């Protein structure tokens, strides 16, 4: 039976490249000359730590990071920019977690979405991926379109397609 996996993985090397390119962009930008700017990637926790002088620079730095990441092939919704910044001393700090893997609640939501669609497929949760199997490849492609068109706020990859 044909099957595929729904996953949400961020390649660590691509993320590291995007952070390094963002650092170089900040070094060359005129509006950041003489300002304290720090972008650090914590590879173990998958968190990007930002540190700047002002809130305006923080917004610009987030924009640079997302733009450079998208050019590297990462999706913009892989970053959780909803957390508030922390102002301590004369610097503003913000930790931007990178979404990696599908958590249990989101897995259940995706499986419910697939089952409610009425397509003749089976969806099973396997750790941080979802395996979808069906009799026809067309049904599987309909599931892919369904997942892409619904607003899940998660970067999804459709991998391991077997027929």
pLDDT at residue 22 greater than cutoff 80: yes
DSSP string, 104-148: HHHHHHHHHHHHHTT-SEEEEEETTEEEEEES-HHHHHHHHHHHH
Residues 41 and 73 in one domain: yes
Which residues constitute the domain of residue 74? 12-97
Mean pLDDT of 27-33: 89
pTM (two decimals): 0.83
Per-residue confidence band for 1, with pLDDT thresholds at 50, 70 and 90: confident
pLDDT, residue 162, reads 86
Residues 23 and 36 in one domain: yes
Residues 72 and 140 in one domain: no
pLDDT at residue 42 greater than cutoff 90: yes
Domain CATH for 106? 3.30.70.860
pLDDT tens-place string over residues 120-153: 999 999 888 999 999 999 999 999 999 999 888 8
């Amino acid at each position: 039976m044909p099957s595929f996996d729904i996953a949400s993985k961020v390649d660590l090397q691509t993320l590291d490249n995007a952070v390094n390119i963002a650092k170089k962009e900040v070094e060359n930008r005129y509006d950041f000359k003489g300002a304290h700017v720090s972008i650090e990637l914590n590879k173990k926790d998958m968190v990007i730590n930002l540190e700047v002088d002002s809130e305006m620079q923080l917004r610009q730095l987030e924009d640079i990071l997302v733009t450079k990441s998208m050019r590297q092939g990462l999706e913009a919704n892989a970053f959780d920019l909803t957390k508030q910044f922390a102002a301590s001393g004369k610097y503003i700090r913000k930790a931007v977690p990178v979404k990696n893997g599908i958590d249990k609640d989101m897995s259940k939501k995706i499986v419910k979405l697939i089952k409610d669609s009425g397509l003749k497929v089976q969806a099973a949760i396997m750790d941080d991926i979802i395996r979808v199997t069906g009799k026809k490849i067309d049904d599987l492609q309909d599931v892919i379109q369904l997942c892409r068109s619904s607003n899940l706020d998660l970067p999804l990859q459709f991998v391991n397609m077997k027929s």
